[in-house]
Amino acid sequence: MDYKMISALLEKYWEGESTLEEEATLREFFSTPHNDLPEDLLEAAPLFGYFHVEAEKVWEAPPAKVVKLSPLRHWMKYAAVILVAVGIGYALKQHEQRQQQVLVAMQQEDMNDPQKALEQTKRALQLLAKNLHKGTAGMQKLSYFNEATAVVEGKED
């Protein structure tokens, strides 16, 4: 093997002036063990040996699966929207029912208290009486009218 050529390449390598091909040649040269290498080549052997080993290393990234995404992949968000809507609806309904119950309860409360019940009844009866009174007033007028016609008719008779 032409150690002189390798030495020259190595010199270029350390100076950062070697080309990719020249570096490949160096890696290739150092990938196999050599006997009685001159000092300058011996120095570079571990480094290029390392490069060679690293370059040959097989890297196994775990295989990537291509997953088809279904349109329902975000089903949770749809479910959440429905859940919230149902929740609000239910809450509103409950609220309404509760108000109704409160009204009924308040009325019942009134009925259970004798004093309040009496007042309520009185008020109701008074309302009735007032309306009845309006009725009787009308009837009275009607009876005057009847009497009047009777008098008129009597006179004519």
Partner 1 sequence: MSLDRFLTQVVPVRQKLYRFAFRLLGNEEDAQDITQDALMKVWGMQEKMAELQNMEAWCMRITRNLALDKLKSRKYRMSDELDRAGEMPATHQQSPHAVTEQNDVMEKVHVAINALPEKYRTILQLRDIDGHSYQEIADILDIDMNDVKVNLHRARKTVREKLQNLQVYGL
Residues whose CB falls within 8 Å of the CB of residue 130, separated by 6 or more in sequence, listed in order: none
Instruction: Tell me: does residue 1 bind partner 1 (CB under 8 A).
Output: no
- Is residue 3 within 8 Å of residue 26, measured between CB atoms? no
Instruction: Determine which residue in the list 2, 20, 71, 114 makes contact with partner 1, applying CB under 8 A.
Output: 20
33 residue type, one letter: P
Instruction: Tell me: does residue 53 bind partner 1 (CB under 8 A).
Output: yes
Instruction: Tell me: does residue 37 bind partner 1 (CB under 8 A).
Output: yes
Instruction: Tell me: does residue 45 bind partner 1 (CB under 8 A).
Output: yes
Instruction: Determine which residue in the list 4, 33, 67, 131 makes contact with partner 1, applying CB under 8 A.
Output: 33
- Is residue 110 within 8 Å of residue 120, measured between CB atoms? yes
* DSSP 8-state secondary structure symbol assigned to residue 73: G
Instruction: Tell me: does residue 155 bind partner 1 (CB under 8 A).
Output: no
Instruction: Determine which residue in the list 1, 5, 8, 24 makes contact with partner 1, applying CB under 8 A.
Output: 24
Q: Is 16 left (phi over 0), alpha (psi -120 to 50) or beta?
A: left
- In the complex with partner 1, the residue whose CB is nearer, 21 or 156, is 21
Between CA 104 and CA 82 the distance in angstroms is 33
Instruction: Tell me: does residue 71 bind partner 1 (CB under 8 A).
Output: no
Between CA 24 and CA 22 the distance in angstroms is 5
* Residues in touch with partner 1 (CB under 8 A): 13-16, 20, 23-24, 27, 30, 33, 37, 42-43, 45-47, 49-51, 53-55, 57, 59, 61-62, 64, 66
